[in-house]
Amino acid sequence: MSSEKLKPLEASDPKKVGGYRLLARLGAGGMGRVYLGRSKGGRPVAVKVIHPHLAEDAQFRRRFEAEVAAVRRVGGIHTVQVVDARADADPPWLVTEYIAGPSLQEAVGEHGAFSVVAIAGLGAGLAEGLMAIHERGVVHRDLKPGNVLLAQDGPRIIDFGIARALDVTSQTTRTSVVGTPGFMSPEQLRGREVGPASDVFCLAAVLAFAATGRRPFGDGPIEALGYRVVNEEPDLTGVPAPLLPLIASGLEKDPEDRPGLEAFLEHCSVLAEDGDAPLPEPVSTMIATRVAETAVLAPPPQDAPGDGRRFPPLGRMKLPVAAVVGVLLVAFAAWAIGHDGNAPVTPKAIATPKRTPTSPTPAPQPSETASATDSATPTPTSDPTRKAFEKISAGDCLDAYERPSGEWSRSKPRAVGCGRSDAHLKVLKVVDDSSECNRHGADLDGELWWTYGEDANEIALCVQRQFRTGDCFLATKGENENSVAISNADLMTSWPCGAGSAPGEYDFVLRITAFTSGACPPGGRRVHWEVRGRTLCTRIV
């Protein structure tokens, strides 16, 4: 965790909390004051000390302890990890890893809006972080520019879940309003139950802020902001065209009309993958300065050359080496001159024929005239794509779906937890002939296959679409203007529910309202389908 610029400790500040020596002030929030600290092993950490008036509330302590336990389970490369906490201390405290970088609020406030590629890298990282949070059953509820830190290796989300411990201090309930005006979802402001879709709204608002330098619902008193969020459209003037449909759909008033986080991750990663998502140079310099200040205050232990993190960021950030070195020297000189060394400073319709999704192109084989030593073509055992297929087993779930172009969204399969919102497919079996996957002939069953290789080298995954309420897929017109037609391949597609229109050859976006053996929910332009002996209920978006 990080916050504002480092400030010296004051006389009233503690010198140590738990086993952590405090070095400087980072900032303050609704729960307490945050300090830069150092662990016994020499690692820089962020230490949050709870405000005394909250510490006196026994119910708060119990809630705080429960929330910390939940957040400890959250993993992911774009979240800040909780490393220690004591709810029974006087006062209670929380320790997280320290991120040497400014908040998004600070960076945009000082240097203005980001470029398209930088926003895309930011969006992909935040979507991935939120997905990790949701996978553990935690909803952030207060994602805002101040809770997003910009580090050397990508953005980090802070304060997820912990804010719920504050509910007990204001005589609130499980539907209480907890969040930041201007970045809260309409359902938050109305005091209703909030779920992952609420964080999608907040993410879209944060990306709009990064794209324009201002809040999408303006500024002003809390009441005025709340009214605009619930009743008025956001001001998205200046949001770049490649991001406008996605951000606009994320800010839909109805949670069911917002796309899932996987849509943000997919769209943003595609925009970012052709570049290295550089931050504005002044922001990179801000990060370099924080790194330098931290190195002066809490140098890494000599026997620990690295922190063990080994992952490529979606948005790599260029840091000028000369700037880092220069800032470090200046910071050290200032420190040496000004201090004595001891003072420290986040309708049932017509089913169209099946079409087989495009498979990844098999690795080329050596020509008959080329020798084995001359060919650089990988053998089946060394082919990374084949290895990815061979890792998949029956029962695994995959975070893949069919694009409107007919290709799979991933070049090779990856198993994910079946409870994840992006677990679109479930593997029924793994075979060496894709014809074995066609269990029901031409029936509409939501099943297809994903193959690699040919003939004797073929490996096929027989996959089945998982139907989740709220997900959207694509469909075409049937034999007349009033009918809707789908195929098994269409059922494998995924599309943002709030996108507004279907792409390419498609005519409709359908939202799943139920997958049931009973009656479909009423309302909307409804269409239903018999799939796998049950009724797939949808409505036209």
Q: Is 276 a catalytic residue?
A: no
DSSP states of 78-147:
TBPPEEEEETTSSS-EEEEE---S-BHHHHHHHH-PPPHHHHHHHHHHHHHHHHHHHHTT-------GGG
Look-up of token digits 């520019």? 145
Which residues, 6 or more positions from 519, have their beta carbon under 8 angstroms from its beta carbon? none
Rounded to 5, what percent of the chain is helix, strand, coil? 30, 20, 50
State how far the alpha carbon of 524 is from the alpha carbons of 258, 454, 511, 539, 541, in Å.
16, 45, 10, 6, 8
Query: Per the residue annotation, which of 13, 88, 90, 142 is the catalytic one?
Result: 142
How many residues does the structure list for the chain? 541
Terminal alpha carbon distance of the chain: 40
Tokens of 377: 């073509």
8 Å CB contact between 377 and 363: yes
Tokens of 488: 């098994």
State how far the alpha carbon of 370 is from the alpha carbons of 364, 367, 376, 378, in Å.
13, 5, 10, 14
Tokens of 226: 């709340």
Rounded distance between C-alpha atoms, residue 290 and residue 153, angstroms: 14
Q: Is 484 exposed, middle or buried (0-12, 13-18, 19+ CB in 10 A)?
A: buried
The residues annotated as belonging to the active site are: 142
